[in-house]
């Protein structure tokens, strides 16, 4: 097995790697190093949790020399604020013995403060597309000096509607630059973007898009509704020796708040929650407390599914079957990272069977179904969207598509037409409409 000693890197990087305890590169890191150093455009596809960030950061830091230049020479774009913070911290730890300046900018923070930080200069800029575009268009940030562009999790950016900003950001950078893109999944839209803006990119693919990590044990429970899923989750989490650090995914913000309320009644301050409606400081603190072990359980939406490197997550719970199979891959990728093992538990209803089959088709692997505990309480409490639809028999707004045997037409006297009331009809008889415009004497001649 190759080690980092086989890479031709400077002493400062080598010391940082030793401090981090890294000894052997992952397959994507091993394959990417020489290609990125060559200056060619690169597209890297690898399973989530295999060290893609380090795969592009290491060769870039090796080639980045000291400079007093104010404008950034390297631009790293990521889809979420949490990823900006994480990548900045990682790049700083890799370059701790060098003089490389790293800055992160993202939406939800004070833009005036970020304007001042940008004006002080940086070598590597990590940014979300929206805030980056705002600063570039207002001429607070100059991108003409960018020599290397890295797009991490580009498929998420396109899903979030960032294509417009991406295309315009490309136009603000010099055409002669190195483009580097890394992701766990590839889509047709990503391929189209790559074909348009990349020049003969070299593709590095160490695993098929959608291949699950072998270190993750997957299982499935079929349950009738949301609150029965919550009952099962509460029951499982009582084993603190087994379930030591748990990430719980739900489909939307309302479900996150509902589940948090239920879990907090049982587990108190062991539970945290995070979703897009929470403030930036709240989200950062919640992630920090979960990563440090203050929270044993963290309820979240897909905002936490991509790229975040959380320490030693033992279990990932899916309280729903994701709409897109790729989202399932990214969710479970929060565990079983960097050579550790992890477990994923998927909870679905019979209505979600087809979506589960799509996930299994993508992975080319079936998820083993487990029997429900005999003493599990089946809840009769339903979410509004789980309530059965009641059809109103005599709803005047509902069309009667088929007329039954008892149907009969109204009698003639009941087939009335609303003519606006008797007073209005009498006035219409008395004052008839003039036949021609301006004939003021028409009504007077025909008055009876």
DSSP codes of every residue in 304-325: GSSS---TT--EEEESS--SSH
Residue 408 lies in a domain: no
Q: Check whether residue 249 and residue 198 sit in a common domain.
A: no
List the one residue out of 199, 266, 197 whose CA is nearest residue 230.
Answer: 266
Question: Which of 360, 386, 412 delimits the end of a domain?
Answer: 386
CB 182 within 8 A of CB 307: no
- pLDDT of 336 reads 79
Residue 436 lies in a domain: no
Q: Check whether residue 193 and residue 235 sit in a common domain.
A: no
Q: Check whether residue 63 and residue 110 sit in a common domain.
A: yes
Q: Check whether residue 249 and residue 347 sit in a common domain.
A: yes
- pLDDT of 315 reads 95
* Terminal-to-terminal C-alpha distance of the chain: 110
Helix axes 163-171, 188-197, angle to 10 degrees: 10
Residue 75 lies in a domain: yes
Q: Which two tokens stand for residue 295?
A: 């929270």
Q: Which two tokens stand for residue 221?
A: 């429970």
Q: Check whether residue 201 and residue 220 sit in a common domain.
A: no
Question: Which of 386, 402, 424 delimits the end of a domain?
Answer: 386
Residue 410 lies in a domain: no
- pLDDT of 105 reads 95
Give dist(CA 244, CA 215) in Å, integer.
Answer: 17
- pLDDT of 445 reads 54
Give dist(CA 377, CA 223) in Å, integer.
Answer: 11
Q: 3-state DSSP: the chain helix, strand, coil percent, rounded to 5?
A: 40, 15, 45
- pLDDT of 4 reads 81
Q: Check whether residue 156 and residue 183 sit in a common domain.
A: yes
Q: Is the pTM of this model over 0.85?
A: no
- pLDDT of 264 reads 94
Residue 102 lies in a domain: yes
By residue range, what is the domain housing residue 239? 216-386
Q: Check whether residue 28 and residue 160 sit in a common domain.
A: yes
Q: How many residues does the chain have?
A: 448
Q: Which two tokens stand for residue 9?
A: 């890197």
Give dist(CA 166, CA 129) in Å, integer.
Answer: 7
Q: Check whether residue 198 and residue 230 sit in a common domain.
A: no
- pLDDT of 6 reads 81
Q: Check whether residue 64 and residue 194 sit in a common domain.
A: yes
List the one residue out of 227, 364, 250, 343 whose CA is nearest residue 300.
Answer: 250
pLDDT averaged per 10 residues in sequence order, the chain, 448 residues: 79 90 85 91 77 89 90 92 89 92 91 94 94 92 94 76 84 91 75 83 72 79 96 96 94 92 94 83 85 91 68 91 83 78 93 92 90 93 84 61 60 62 60 52 52
Q: Which long-range contacts (CB under 8 A, 24 or more apart) does 378-385 make?
A: 378/224, 378/228, 378/231, 379/225, 379/227, 379/228, 379/230, 379/231, 381/225, 381/227, 382/225, 382/226, 382/227, 383/225, 383/226, 383/227, 383/255, 383/258
Question: Which of 205, 231, 249 delimits the end of a domain?
Answer: 205
Which helix (DSSP H) or strand (DSSP E) does residue 37 occupy?
Answer: helix 27-38
Residue 158 lies in a domain: yes
Q: What are phi and psi of 403, to 5 degrees?
A: -95, 125
- pLDDT of 167 reads 87
Burial of 448 (0-12, 13-18, 19+ CB in 10 A): exposed
Residue 338 lies in a domain: yes
Q: Check whether residue 56 and residue 182 sit in a common domain.
A: yes
β-pairing, 74-77 vs 202-205, is: unpaired
Q: Which two tokens stand for residue 190?
A: 């990503």
* Number of structural domains found in the chain: 2
- pLDDT of 144 reads 93
Q: Check whether residue 85 and residue 170 sit in a common domain.
A: yes
| Residues in a beta bridge with 369 | 220
CATH of residue 136's domain is: 3.40.50.300
Q: Check whether residue 126 and residue 265 sit in a common domain.
A: no
CB 319 within 8 A of CB 246: no
- pLDDT of 81 reads 85
Residue 262 lies in a domain: yes
């Amino acid at each position: 097995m190759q080690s980092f000693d086989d890479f031709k890197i400077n002493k400062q990087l080598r010391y940082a790697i030793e401090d981090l305890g890294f000894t052997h590169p992952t397959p994507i890191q091993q394959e990417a190093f020489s290609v990125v150093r060559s200056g060619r455009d690169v597209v890297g596809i690898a399973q989530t949790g295999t060290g893609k960030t380090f795969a592009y950061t290491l060769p870039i830091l090796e080639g980045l020399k000291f400079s007093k230049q104010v404008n950034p020479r390297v631009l790293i774009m990521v889809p979420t604020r949490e990823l900006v913070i994480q990548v900045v911290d990682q790049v700083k730890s890799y370059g701790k013995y060098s003089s490389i300046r790293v800055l992160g900018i993202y939406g939800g923070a004070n833009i005036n403060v970020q304007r001042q930080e940008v004006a002080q200069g940086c070598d590597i800029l990590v940014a979300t597309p929206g805030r980056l575009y705002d600063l570039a268009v207002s001429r607070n940030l100059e991108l003409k000096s960018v020599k290397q562009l890295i797009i991490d999790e580009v498929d998420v950016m396109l899903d979030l509607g960032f294509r417009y900003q991406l295309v315009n950001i490309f136009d603000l950078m010099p055409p002669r630059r190195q483009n580097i893109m890394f992701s766990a999944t590839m889509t047709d839209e990503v391929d189209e973007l790559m074909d348009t803006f990349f020049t003969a990119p070299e593709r590095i693919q160490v695993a098929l898009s959608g291949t699950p990590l072998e270190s993750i044990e997957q299982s499935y429970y079929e349950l009738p509704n949301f609150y029965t899923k919550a009952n099962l989750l509460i029951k499982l989490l009582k084993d603190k020796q087994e379930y030591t650090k748990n990430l719980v995914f739900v489909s939307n913000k309302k479900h996150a708040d509902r589940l948090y309320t239920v879990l907090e009644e049982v587990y108190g301050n062991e539970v945290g929650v995070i979703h897009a409606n929470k403030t930036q400081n709240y989200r950062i603190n919640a992630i920090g407390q979960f990563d440090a072990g203050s929270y044993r359980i963290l309820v979240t939406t897909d905002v936490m599914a991509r790229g975040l490197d959380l320490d030693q997550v033992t279990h990932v719970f899916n309280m729903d079957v994701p709409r897109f199979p790729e989202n399932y891959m990214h969710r479970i990728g929060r565990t079983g990272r960097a050579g550790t093992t992890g477990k994923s538990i998927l909870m679905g209803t019979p209505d979600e069977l087809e979506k589960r089959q799509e996930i299994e088709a993508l992975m080319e692997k079936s998820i083993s179904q487990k029997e429900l505990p005999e003493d599990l309480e089946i809840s009769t409490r339903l979410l509004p969207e789980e309530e059965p639809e009641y059809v109103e028999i005599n709803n005047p707004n509902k069309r009667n598509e088929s007329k039954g045997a008892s149907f009969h037409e109204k009698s003639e006297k009941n087939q009335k037409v609303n003519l606006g009331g008797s007073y209005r009809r009498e006035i219409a008889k008395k004052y008839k409409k003039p036949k021609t415009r301006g004939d003021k004497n028409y009504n007077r001649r025909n008055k009876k």
